[in-house]
């Protein structure tokens, strides 16, 4: 009996085991089947066993598991999908397939913590497909799929998987932490696929650091509608007209021999990779394409830290992936997050340092090929490396100075978008506190000890004299203190009312700062500009440009300060920053940052022609600044006088728009009619001379004229040229375009001639901008899209159809 019982038991076990294998490898999961998170996990396999669905134990904690899909045949197979936002489930949690709610995940206490939400319908069964897609099949065959993992991607796309408009891939927080990270890959409603960082935990979206360029407002059929990882492993944006815009090379290893995936990694790099199916245990994924190619070199916008955290430095590894490293004498805020922010291992600051010589407290550490390009607060040029070092060492605000060429860029904490690379042609001087440097008592101001001794002497005298004298002196001291603090508070309230750190300066202060308005920098429509030097509380005074506004009346103080406040709150990397103002009767002055490389006019019309690359970058910068003024700042600003003289260049020759907002200030308390012409001859839009409303399109017109000047390095009106058909640049440019001779605009510029597609595009954009009819001119947003090549530029009509000089 024992042997028969044993044989029957073995037969039953074999049959059950065989049934279990079949149920696991057929891919089908029946209603009521479940999996439990435990050490020896069963999983639901696809028919080929390429993919598995189930619980994966997290490496850093044996008591937590991730409900996921992964490559089953690859050792430690990469996870390609996960539930519950990447948040792990406790040991003993169970996922069950139900008819009315699909997959339901419960913790060990039976509390539901996740489900596959699909609305109405009933599940017939589930399927783990060989594509890596887990599907809940509808009992109603008319709508076969109630829910599928492909429609809820996490950080990875698999072959045949498509991401629709407004679809999102979110990176993990780290390689082993599957909760939401800082980066996203999205398909926008306009058809562009973009990569961008976000601010955790608010999910505020920063500027995109990659744009596919698949948006076409002129032809909606050309806009992207899906991002697809094709069966062959090619990643592309599918347009509405079924055209494919490939993001990867098309010669990829065949899918029958290789696994393929596209993953948004925790470090912000989007990688398309392949792995041989029949491989040894030591084979890894081979990256076919990284987007972007060098993430360390990208600027992630004016907010945020960049790829790495604040004060951290990004370096590109051989696999095109970034790593982050804190600077010397800095350490990670979170020791477990090497990609996070760094903090200085010392105390630094003007208050802490007191009046001690900075060289007694600090030393500078050289960091070759390193820069934090978005943390500047002061630029000096020309300036030698030795001068740059000394300037930072003597400035209690300076955390690091960067020397490049003949310029010096001083930076303060926190530092953002840090990078180290051979292509970074700069030397950074990092200021760190000496090991033996001691701090002053931070609770006492400089000379506090001496002041305390004096106070003791004074109190002793008081105590030795008459009580009445003590009261009188005490009363006088209190009254003086009250009056001082009242005046001090009023001044600060006035400055705070202006907002954004604007300083309210007296005319006498500015007269001293400019040495009696001695050094004139230039004259324009709005007044005369003088160079000055103003102390900022640091040991190094700051150079400024002081503009004395003319044609102002004494009335309108409130309106003037309101408009100055608007200017002071308008900040963009392509705008000149306002730092202070003076409003005393007829004396109204504005104090701007001083930009060392002068105006665009001096660069364009000087003896040495700037390079084509430099000119195109300047045009882009001006366009971005105007777009900000027209559409992105809190109060729309029409400049009314866009011209090369009002475009200044910083130490890196970045374009910065000046005099924005002044057109409105100059019209305060004046009769404002449509005929009050603002602007400069050659750049003024036709509507100024007609009974037409003045809109942002007047700036678009001026930009178009200036774009032609940037292209040709010639003035808009040049009667000295001696050729009637070339005196007016706008007319001549259209003639050249019409005759197919746009190369004449750049003459013998080999760099521009080798970039004919861009040259032709820029000329057509300029001609669209200078159309007589304002409604035909594009907005600055569209201008930027055309300049970037995202929007196709069509052939423009004659900009002056009623002018007989143009044929």
Q: Hey, which residues are catalytic here?
A: 641
Is the distance from CB of 788 to CB of 762 less than 8 angstroms?
A: no
Count other C-beta atoms under 10 Å from residue 694's C-beta: 19
Instruction: Quote the CA–CA distance of 497 and 499 in Å, as a whole number.
Output: 5
Q: DSSP per residue over 115-177, as a string? A: E----S--EEEEEE-TTS-EEEEESSTTS-EEEEGGGS--SEE-TT-EEETT-EEEEESSSS-
Phi, psi of 187 (to 5 degrees): -110, 110
Environment class of 591 (CB within 10 Å of its CB; exposed 0-12, middle 13-18, buried 19+): buried
Q: Peptide bond preceding 589: is omega within 30 degrees of 0, i.e. cis? A: no
User: What order of strands is seen across the sheet that includes strand 362-368?
Assistant: 362-368, 427-433, 400-404, 407-411, 376-380
Name the DSSP class of 717: B
Look up residue 528 and give its two tokens: 């005369």
Instruction: Quote the CA–CA distance of 198 and 304 in Å, as a whole number.
Output: 8
Look up residue 372 and give its two tokens: 């934090």
Residue with tokens 């019209």: 667
Pairing type for strands 89-90 and 43-45 reads: unpaired
Environment class of 309 (CB within 10 Å of its CB; exposed 0-12, middle 13-18, buried 19+): buried
Beta strands in 539-600 (DSSP E): 542-549, 578-584, 587-593
Instruction: Quote the CA–CA distance of 136 and 114 in Å, as a whole number.
Output: 16
Is the distance from CB of 102 to CB of 115 less than 8 angstroms?
A: yes
Is the distance from CB of 149 to CB of 134 less than 8 angstroms?
A: yes
Residue 302 among known ligand-binding residues: no
> Which pairs count as long-range contacts for 38-47, CB under 8 Å and 24+ apart, including other chains?
38/91, 38/92, 41/65, 43/72, 44/126, 44/128, 44/134, 45/72, 45/128, 46/72, 46/128, 46/129, 46/130, 46/132, 47/130
* Beta-carbon contacts of residue 455 (< 8 Å; ≥ 6 apart): none
Instruction: Quote the CA–CA distance of 791 and 733 in Å, as a whole number.
Output: 22
Instruction: Quote the CA–CA distance of 763 and 734 in Å, as a whole number.
Output: 9
Phi, psi of 148 (to 5 degrees): -150, 145
Look up residue 212 and give its two tokens: 């596919």
Annotated binding site for ATP: 548
Going by the annotation, the residues of the binding site are 548
């Amino acid at each position: 009996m024992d042997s028969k019982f044993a044989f029957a038991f073995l037969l039953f076990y074999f049959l059950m085991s065989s049934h279990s294998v079949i149920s696991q490898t057929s891919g089908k999961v029946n209603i009521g089947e479940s999996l439990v998170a435990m050490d020896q996990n069963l999983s639901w396999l696809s028919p080929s066993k390429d993919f598995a669905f189930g619980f994966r134990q997290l490496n850093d904690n044996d008591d937590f598991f991730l409900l996921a899909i992964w490559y089953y045949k690859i050792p430690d197979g990469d996870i390609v999908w996960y539930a519950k936002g990447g948040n792990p489930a406790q040991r003993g949690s169970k996922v069950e397939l139900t008819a009315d709610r699909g997959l339901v995940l419960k913790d060990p206490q039976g509390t539901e913590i996740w489900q596959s939400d699909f609305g109405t319908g009933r599940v017939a069964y589930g399927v783990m497909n060989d594509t890596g897609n887990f599907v809940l099949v509808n009992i109603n065959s008319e709508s076969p799929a109630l829910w599928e993992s492909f429609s809820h991607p996490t950080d990875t796309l698999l072959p045949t998987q498509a991401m629709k408009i407004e679809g999102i891939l979110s990176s993990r927080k780290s390689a082993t932490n599957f909760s939401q990270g800082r980066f996203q890959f999205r398909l926008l409603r306009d058809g562009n696929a973009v990569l961008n960082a976000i601010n955790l935990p608010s999910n505020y979206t920063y500027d995109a650091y990659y744009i596919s360029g698949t948006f076409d407002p002129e032809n909606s059929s050309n806009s992207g509608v899906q991002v697809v990882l094709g069966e062959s492993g090619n990643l592309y944006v599918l347009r509405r007209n079924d055209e494919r815009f490939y993001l990867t090379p098309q010669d990829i290893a065949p899918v029958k021999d290789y696994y393929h995936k596209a993953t948004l990694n925790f470090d912000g790099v989007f990688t398309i990779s392949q792995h041989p199916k029949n491989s040894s245990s030591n084979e890894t994924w081979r990256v076919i394409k990284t987007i972007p190619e060098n993430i360390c070199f990208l600027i992630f916008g004016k907010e945020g830290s960049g790829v790495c955290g604040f004060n951290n430095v990004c370096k590109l590894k051989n696999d095109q992936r970034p790593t982050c490293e804190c600077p010397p004498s800095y350490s990670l805020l979170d020791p477990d997050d090497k990609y996070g922010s760094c903090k200085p291992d010392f105390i630094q600051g003007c208050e802490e340092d007191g009046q001690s010589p900075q060289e007694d407290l600090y030393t500078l550490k050289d960091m070759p090929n390193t820069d934090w390009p978005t943390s500047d607060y002061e630029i000096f040029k020309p300036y030698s490396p030795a001068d740059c070092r000394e300037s930072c060492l003597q400035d209690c605000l300076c955390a690091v100075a960067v020397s490049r060429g003949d310029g010096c860029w001083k930076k303060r904490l926190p530092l953002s978008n840090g990078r180290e690379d051979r292509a970074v042609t700069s030397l950074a001087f990092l200021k760190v506190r000496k090991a033996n440097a001691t701090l002053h008592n931070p609770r006492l101001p400089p000379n506090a000890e001496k002041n305390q001794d004096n106070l003791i002497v004074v109190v002793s005298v008081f105590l030795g004299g008459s009580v009445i004298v003590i009261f009188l002196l005490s009363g006088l001291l209190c009254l003086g203190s009250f009056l001082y603090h009242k005046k001090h508070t009023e001044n600060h309230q006035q400055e705070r009312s202006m907002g954004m750190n604007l300083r309210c300066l007296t005319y006498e202060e500015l007269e001293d700062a400019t040495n009696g308005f001695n050094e004139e920098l230039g004259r324009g429509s709005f007044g005369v500009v003088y160079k000055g030097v103003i102390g900022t509380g640091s040991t190094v005074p700051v150079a400024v440009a002081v503009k004395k506004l003319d044609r102002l009346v004494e009335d309108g103080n409130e309106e003037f300060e309101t408009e100055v406040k608007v200017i002071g709150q308008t900040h963009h990397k392509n705008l000149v920053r306002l730092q202070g103002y003076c409003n005393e009767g007829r004396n109204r002055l504005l104090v701007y940052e001083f930009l060392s490389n002068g105006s665009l006019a001096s660069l364009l019309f000087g003896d040495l022609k700037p390079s084509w690359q430099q000119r195109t970058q300047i045009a882009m910068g001006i366009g971005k600044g105007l777009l900000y003024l027209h559409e992105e700042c809190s109060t729309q600003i029409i400049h009314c006088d866009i011209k090369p003289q009002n475009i200044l260049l910083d130490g890196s020759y970045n374009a910065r728009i000046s005099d924005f907002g002044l057109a409105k200030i100059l019209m305060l308390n004046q009769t404002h009619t449509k005929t009050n012409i603002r602007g400069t001859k050659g750049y003024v839009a036709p509507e100024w001379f007609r009974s037409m409303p003045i809109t942002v399109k007047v700036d678009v017109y001026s930009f178009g004229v200036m774009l032609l000047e940037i292209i040709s390095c010639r003035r808009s009106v040049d009667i000295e040229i001696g050729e009637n058909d070339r005196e007016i640049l706008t007319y001549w440019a259209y003639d050249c375009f019409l005759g197919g001779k746009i190369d004449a605009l750049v003459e013998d510029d080999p760099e521009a001639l080798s970039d004919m597609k861009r040259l032709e595009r820029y000329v057509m954009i300029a001609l669209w901008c200078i159309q007589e009819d304002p409604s035909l001119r594009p907005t600055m947003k569209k201008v930027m899209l055309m300049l970037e090549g995202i929007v196709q530029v069509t052939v423009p009509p004659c900009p002056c159809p009623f002018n007989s000089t143009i044929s």
